[in-house]
Amino acid sequence: MKDSVLVINSGSSSIKFQLVDPSGGAAVADGIVERIGEPDGLVTLRHRDVDAEHRGPIVDHAEGLRLAFSMLAEVGLDLAGAGIAAVGHRVVHGGEVFYRPTVITPEVLAEVSRLSALAPLHNPANVIGIEGAMRELPDVPHVAVFDTAYFHTLPPRARTYAIDREVARAHSVRRYGFHGTSHEYVAGQVATVLGRDLGELNQIVLHLGNGASASAISGGRAVDTSMGLTPLEGLVMGTRSGDIDPGIVTHLRRSAGMDIDEIDTLLNRRSGLKGMCGVNDFRELSRLIDAGDEDAVLAYQVYVHRLRKYIGAYLVELGRLDAITFTAGVGENVARVRADALAGLEGLGIEVDPVRNTAKGRGARLISTDGSAVAVLVVPTNEELAIARQAVELVRAG
Ligand code: AMP
């Protein structure tokens, strides 16, 4: 039986790919094409114990995918004979149209492309990735899994911006939320780790990677999330500002003479930790903090302050809280962030155990004290596996 799924995640200048066994969860092969469009392109991949690497310019996503496929063949992976049941594509913005995994037809692809207006940094790359993979594997079903889908259930009060309703309707301006595949996967894992029913849990999930988002989840359904129309709203991120006064945009336009693209670049690429202290990787940030760099200390304080604001807001929204969970690169690896985000909340029944929090571990784990009313967890996210499972489920159902 065909039982593996090729998962493709195309970003603005990179393509991550993984061949996954959706039942066991093991990655048969995985790799990444990086720095597409730059002179120093790089492809790295691993299949079983064999590593391969290619360095050199990669003009576009289509060439990046071709290279990746031919390198997979060189390391002994014959995709045509690998028993691939489906190709799962991460698509960032599903707009108001897509809220379930969807088999990609020419019409679906045209709609994803049309939604580029809502996600100009992401959807065009997703479209190119889909086209390239369909050329390479034309006889396999391709499935789009949308980052926004999980937040389809946001109640109107949480998804509506307080702006003129006609403008909002005419331009699809509402809160969509992103990282949905991760929030959903992690919330499910929490129920498994705690041995409880997902349906009875009130949870906060903190996906803290280079992009970062928080969500409030009740009974397995998302009731609020920090990202909005675009993945720019909410928490402080590696290079994105998160929440700002929208008046800053008009101020910079009028007073600094910046055009709209410059402001877009400022907020998406030159803000967040990087904007405040020059680095966006938490390992470098920690080194700067330990060396006494004042900008780094302030950037960290702003980061944690914003995180605590969202935790407080979601705690009140949910009313009763069972679990708070950290995931993604920062959430899984930086004990200091976890400790500081929840410091002093014993009165609210939230108590992190310092030994459990700093213990080395890779899997899902509990880091709260035995007496903590709210469970605090670290759960590694696995968006590729979640995409693979959703893709194969759809294909088998059809
Ligand atoms: P992600 O977007 O989930 O891949 O997360 C990437 C970010 O996680 C990086 O930019 C780092 O800030 C952070 N990160 C990943 N691994 C570590 C680690 N071992 N220690 C500290 N920070 C890490």
Condensed to tens digits (0 to 9), the pLDDT of residues 195-227 reads 999 999 999 999 999 999 999 999 999 999 999
Mean predicted lDDT score pLDDT of the chain: 95
Q: Is residue 95 part of a domain?
A: yes
Burial of residue 197, with CB atoms counted within 10 A of its CB: 0-12 exposed, 13-18 middle, 19 or more buried: exposed
Return all residues near 255 (Cβ < 8 A) that are at least 6 apart.
none
Mean pLDDT of 330-336: 97
Return all residues near 166 (Cβ < 8 A) that are at least 6 apart.
none
Answer whether residue 370 shows pLDDT above 90.
Answer: yes
pLDDT at 81: 81
What are 143's strand-pairing partners?
88, 103
244 and 374 both lie in a single domain: yes
Q: Is residue 126 part of a domain?
A: yes
206 and 349 both lie in a single domain: yes
Mean pLDDT of 331-357: 98
Confidence label for 2 from pLDDT (cuts 50, 70 and 90): confident
82 and 200 both lie in a single domain: no
pLDDT at 121: 78
At which of 104, 124, 146 does a domain end?
146
Q: Is residue 83 part of a domain?
A: yes
pLDDT at 61: 87
- Give the CATH number of the domain where residue 107 resides: 3.30.420.40
Q: Give residue 336 CA to ligand 1 midpoint distance, Å.
A: 13
At which of 130, 146, 162 does a domain end?
146
Q: What residue numbers bound the domain in which 133 lies?
A: 5-146
pLDDT at 361: 84
Catalytic residue at 147? yes
pLDDT (tens digit per residue) in 137-192:
999 999 999 999 999 999 999 999 999 999 999 999 999 999 999 999 999 999 99
pLDDT (tens digit per residue) in 251-261:
999 999 999 99
Top mutation candidate among 12, 227, 283, 288 for ligand 1, by most atoms within 8 Å of CB = 283
Burial of residue 241, with CB atoms counted within 10 A of its CB: 0-12 exposed, 13-18 middle, 19 or more buried: buried
pLDDT at 24: 84
Mean pLDDT of 20-30: 89
Return all residues near 323 (Cβ < 8 A) that are at least 6 apart.
190, 194, 201, 202, 203, 204, 374, 375, 376, 377
Distance CA 148, CA 143 (A): 15
pLDDT at 13: 82
Confidence label for 52 from pLDDT (cuts 50, 70 and 90): very high
> 3, 21, 78, 147: which is the annotated catalytic residue?
147
Sign for the pseudo-dihedral over CA of 231, 192, 6, 145: negative
Q: Give residue 209 CA to ligand 1 midpoint distance, Å.
A: 6
pLDDT at 273: 98
360 and 278 both lie in a single domain: yes
Which residues does ligand 1 sit against, CB inside 6 Å? 209-210, 238, 280-283, 328-330, 333-334
Distance CA 295, CA 50 (A): 42
pLDDT at 89: 97
Mean pLDDT of 329-344: 97
Answer whether residue 70 shows pLDDT above 70.
Answer: yes
Answer whether residue 87 shows pLDDT above 70.
Answer: yes
